[in-house]
């Protein structure tokens, strides 16, 4: 049959890989959106008191951990309370409305992997949509190709958004800072009291290694 001949020529390999990437993207979406991003639990406070003082030597030693005014837990360094999730989140980055979940200490690396896979899927889909277009200046051509044109435009817009998001996150990760710290530097006490612009920065290589590994 034609399907067997296509399989023998290896023509089914690329569509299969594309479908697997789409499935991987969907699974990563649900994984990142449903997992615990690093919620601070009240029973962890005792351990925080013992280990917090030696985390970042570049910070002044007189910085005191504050108790959250909403959930009343003692916030670790770099944690923030999320109004949408009603929890304090470790190494809080931002609350993603598309995921309906926070991006924090536990799911931030997977969030980067999800964006990377999504970008590959969008670029591949954009290439497929573009390759199906042939341009003619006629009304009949527009009627037959309107779906491909709209698909390509949507894919192009989403690709730009995902690309910008991925690049900005990789930049912040390479500096060992979070979106929240970058946007609200002047409001965060442990950053205002530090002599350094970013006391957590330990060099690009070490920052990336500690984040992903």
Q: What is the pLDDT along the chain (213 residues), one digit of tens a residue?
A: 555 555 556 567 888 899 999 999 999 999 999 999 999 988 766 555 544 443 455 555 556 677 888 888 888 889 999 999 999 999 999 999 999 999 999 999 999 999 999 999 999 988 887 776 666 666 676 677 778 788 888 999 999 999 999 999 999 999 999 999 999 988 888 888 777 888 899 999 999 999 998
Q: What whole-number distance in Å separates Cα of residue 103 and Cα of residue 80?
A: 11
Q: Is the dihedral of CA 58, 173, 164, 181 positive or negative?
A: negative
pLDDT of residue 15: 84
Catalytic residue list: 96
And the tokens for 110? Answer: 């997977």
pLDDT of residue 145: 73
Residue 82: what are its φ and ψ, rounded to 5°?
-100, 120
pLDDT of residue 52: 47
Q: Is 173 helix (H, G, I), strand (E, B) or coil?
A: helix
pLDDT of residue 128: 82
* Residue 179 near residue 94, CB atoms below 8 Å: yes
pLDDT of residue 51: 45
pLDDT of residue 191: 86
* Residue 71 near residue 86, CB atoms below 8 Å: yes
pLDDT of residue 144: 73
pLDDT of residue 47: 55
Q: What whole-number distance in Å separates Cα of residue 33 and Cα of residue 138?
A: 45
């Amino acid at each position: 049959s034609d399907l067997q001949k296509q399989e023998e020529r290896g023509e089914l390999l690329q569509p299969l890989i594309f479908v697997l990437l789409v499935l991987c993207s969907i699974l990563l979406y649900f994984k990142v959106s449903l997992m615990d991003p690093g919620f601070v639990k009240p029973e962890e406070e005792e351990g925080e008191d013992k280990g917090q003082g030696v985390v970042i030597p570049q910070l002044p030693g007189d910085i005191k951990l504050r108790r959250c005014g909403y959930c009343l837990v003692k916030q670790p360094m770099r944690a923030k309370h999320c109004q949408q999730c009603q929890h304090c989140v470790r190494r809080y980055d931002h609350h993603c409305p598309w995921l309906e979940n926070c991006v924090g200490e536990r799911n931030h690396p997977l969030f980067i992997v999800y964006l990377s896979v999504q970008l590959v899927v969008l670029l591949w889909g954009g290439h497929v949509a573009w390759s199906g277009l042939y341009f003619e200046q006629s009304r009949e051509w527009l009627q037959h190709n309107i779906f491909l044109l709209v698909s390509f435009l949507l894919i192009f817009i989403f690709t730009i958004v995902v690309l910008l998001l991925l690049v900005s996150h990789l930049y912040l990760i390479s500096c060992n800072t979070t979106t929240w710290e970058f946007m609200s530097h002047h409001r965060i006490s442990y950053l205002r009291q530090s002599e350094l612009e970013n006391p957590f920065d330990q060099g690009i290589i070490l920052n990336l290694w500690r984040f992903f590994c």
